[in-house]
Amino acid sequence: MGKKNTVAVVAAAVLAGLVTAAGPAQAVGTVGCTPEIRTLQALPVGAVLDGGTVSDLGRADLAVGTSKGLPVYWTGTTVHAVPLPDGWTGGQVSSVSDGGLMVGTLQRDMDTTVAFSYRPGDAAVKLLTAPGRRASSVAVNEGGRIATSENGIAKEWVNGKLVRELPLPADAFPGSKLSVTAINKRGDILGHLRGEFYDQENDQNVVRLHPVVWPAGGYPPYSLRAWNEEAQIHSTIGTGIDERGRVVGHEWTSWRELRQHRPATWKKPYDALPTEPGRLAGEPELALEGTSPTSGVAVGYASSYEELWTASTQPAYWPGKGPVLTLPGGDGPRRGSAKTVTDDDRVGGTLLDANGLGSPTVWTCASKQAHLPQA
């Protein structure tokens, strides 16, 4: 699944110049659509200053995400706040089903989180997990099937009923913790595993953090391979899974002044190392944040770092083959990022202004807007 526009005229002018000068990507199944950059409304007040981001796109003009640090959804460009239970101060809506069932997480301090579900018009959210000090996570697919994780335990729910607790892969360290990130229409669940093992022989802790796929139907899970499987400075994350089981994500490396994102894709039968789609021209790093259900498109952000600081970010669009492209909009070297993409060629994410504050954004006919960076 992959999202008022007082700036529509300016955005359209900028868009026309960028697409004409840099050359658009070939449209995929977008006959008759109109390329547009839609800036979605932000909440007037909230927990933080930032305008927010689109995390997922539903049917028609429904989008979900966060604004001013609070969970929200949009119909068209109009923002709607999700009601917070007493004591909870922030959160986000992470995904939405075709039927409008939304799921996300709430937080009330730096460490305590809980997963929830919500339908537009409900008076209150439904809490799905118990408040925990270890981060909760949740995802819903097009049909309303939900996967949750809390305190390192992952579960699957159908029609509000628990159908299974997700097992550890056979090669996992004992006591490994699980988290879920996505679930496709078929019911394949994507998450990741974090495990630690003390190697007495070498007197060192061995840490593993890598993606896991639980196939639909209750079959045993797959541990997806990582380039650096037992290195504490590397974390390999899967962020999206399509209907063919292709997984997209990235390896995140953090060590002293070193910051790196290495884009990764995996495909069945998950018995090989991930492959890289390349990088956006001019940017050394790329993180993939989401994938379309069937068209093969992946989106994310390209970036560069100067020691501990993010020097630049650009919303990235990869058609599934060929070069990585970027989407128009944003100001300065830090322009924004893309989070989700649909089969009908919409992309959701955020664009940044000159001060680095985000605006929730939807690109329509994204393949017609995507282009190589201008030299």
Of the candidates 110, 187, 113, 103, the one whose C-alpha atom is nearest the C-alpha of residue 145 is 187
Evaluate whether residue 223 is within a structural domain: yes
Q: What pLDDT score was predicted for residue 204? A: 76
Specify the range with the lowest mean pLDDT, choosing from 34-48, 225-239, 349-363. 225-239
Judge contact between 260 and 236, C-beta under 8 A.
no
Name the token pair of 126. Answer: 């439904």
Evaluate whether residue 307 is within a structural domain: yes
Evaluate whether residue 96 is within a structural domain: yes
Give the number of other CB atoms < 10 A from CB of residue 216.
Answer: 16
Evaluate whether residue 77 is within a structural domain: yes
333 pLDDT higher than 80: yes
Evaluate whether residue 356 is within a structural domain: yes
Per-residue pLDDT tens over the stretch 172-189: 999 999 999 999 999 999
332 pLDDT higher than 50: yes
Amino acid at 152: G
DSSP 301-344: EEEEEETTEEEEEEEEEE-SSS--EE-----SSB-EEEEEE-TT
Q: What pLDDT score was predicted for residue 233? A: 84
Amino acid at 321: K
CA gap 48, 375 in Å, rounded = 36
Judge contact between 131 and 109, C-beta under 8 A.
no
Q: What angle do CA 244, 247, 251 make, to 5 degrees?
A: 170
Q: What pLDDT score was predicted for residue 255? A: 77
| 282 three-class SS | coil
Domains held by the chain: number = 1
Evaluate whether residue 55 is within a structural domain: yes
Q: Give the CATH number of the domain where residue 41 resides.
A: 2.130.10.10
CA gap 277, 225 in Å, rounded = 17
Regarding pTM above 0.85, the answer is yes
Evaluate whether residue 374 is within a structural domain: no
Give the number of other CB atoms < 10 A from CB of residue 63.
Answer: 29
For residue 11, which phi and psi values (nearest 5 degrees)?
A: -60, -40
Judge contact between 362 and 38, C-beta under 8 A.
yes
32 pLDDT higher than 50: yes
Evaluate whether residue 267 is within a structural domain: yes
For residue 367, which phi and psi values (nearest 5 degrees)?
A: -65, -25
Per-residue pLDDT tens over the stretch 240-297: 999 999 999 999 988 777 788 999 999 999 999 999 999 999 999 999 999 999 999 9
Per-residue pLDDT tens over the stretch 57-73: 999 999 999 999 999 99
Judge contact between 320 and 311, C-beta under 8 A.
no
Domain span including residue 170: 5-369
Q: How far apart, in Å, are the Cα atoms of 182 and each of 120, 142, 324?
A: 21, 11, 23
